[in-house]
Amino acid sequence: MKGTTIRGATATIAVLLALTIMMAGCASTEIRSQTSPDYRGQPYEKILVWIDVDDALTADSAENYLVEELIDRGVDAAPQYSIFFAGKDYTYGQRQRELDRNGIDAVLTVEMTDSGATRHRTPDRLRRVHRVNPYTGRVHTYTKWAPGHVDVDAWADFSAELIDRASGEMVWLAVARTAGDPSIGRAGFAQSVSREVADQLIRDGMVATN
């Protein structure tokens, strides 16, 4: 696998972690995947999760989410920061030797392709209110003004690729959209994406489970 293959293919599930929103609620992710028609191998035994961003702490957190989801499903996986030192520039040969030494046979990369927010406004309205006078027992009916409100749905599109270590070729591709109320928070988006990517890899038979 060429060094530029990893760097060019990866960007960032961690960009989702840069959304400045509070933690709460839940997110939902829709995902579609394809397996390369040239892939005839066995499920991969150990994969490396690689997210290449300038902010090392953000990248580490995002990789941890995805690795944890994979391990919970019985997949042997490791974040790239556990193998490669961020302060060192590795040659292609050095990178390959580290992957060999750690038994990595495939690299999972994730890239966010687009993101945004959709706003929906609920209109103002009048509603009828009934109230009973506790002293007379009479029912009084009147109208009350109910102001509308704005609902905001945040969303992000992403792609994930599984790259065969021996050939450097992409053998699996997934595209997905994660969406939800902004109150789901940064972690909510990352966790939803991680769950779906992990599940889809297993459904497609790309990774071995213990």
pLDDT class of 118 with cuts at 50, 70, 90 = confident
As given in the structure block, the two tokens for residue 142 are 């009147």
Q: Where in the sequence is the domain holding 88, given as residue range(s)? A: 3-115+153-203
Q: Helix or strand or coil: residue 196?
A: helix
**What per-residue confidence (pLDDT) applies to 165?**
92
Query: What's the confidence (pLDDT) of residue 132?
Result: 82
pLDDT band at 2 (very low <50, low <70, confident <90, very high): very low
Query: Cα(50)–Cα(137) distance, rounded to whole angstroms?
Result: 70
Contact 27/13 with Cβ under 8 angstroms?
A: no
Q: What is the CATH number of the domain that holds 195?
A: 3.40.50
Asked if residues 94 and 119 have their Cβ atoms less than 8 Å apart, the reply is no
pLDDT at site 107: 96
Tell me the average pLDDT across 8-14.
41
* pTM for the structure as a whole: 0.72
pLDDT at residue number 11: 39
In a domain, 208, yes or no: no
Could you give the 3-state DSSP secondary structure of residue 35? strand
Query: How high is the pLDDT of residue 173?
Result: 95
| Nearest-angstrom CA–CA distance, 1 and 105 | 10
Helix segments in the chain, DSSP class H: 3-9, 56-72, 92-101, 185-203
Domain contains 124: no
pLDDT(12) > 70: no
pLDDT at 202: 95
Pairwise CA distance, residues 26 & 179, whole Å: 9
Q: In terms of DSSP H, where are the helices of 36-146? A: 56-72, 92-101
Q: Is residue 135 part of a domain?
A: no
In a domain, 127, yes or no: no
List, for residues 51-98, the tens digit of each pLDDT value. Answer: 765 566 667 788 898 999 999 999 999 999 999 988 899 999 999 999
Give me the sign of the Cα torsion angle 102, 45, 47, 96: positive
Whether residue 128 is contained in a domain is answered as: no
Q: Is 147 domain-assigned?
A: no
Question: And the tokens for 82?
Answer: 């556990």
3-state DSSP assignment of residue 193: helix
Q: What is the pLDDT of residue 155?
A: 82
Average pLDDT along the chain = 80
Number of domains in the chain: 1
Torsion (CA) 117, 49, 47, 1 in degrees, nearest 10: 100
- Per residue in 180-196, pLDDT tens? 877 766 667 778 888 89
How large a percentage of the chain has pLDDT more than 90?
38
Measured CA to CA, the distance from residue 77 to residue 79 in angstroms comes to 7
In a domain, 145, yes or no: no
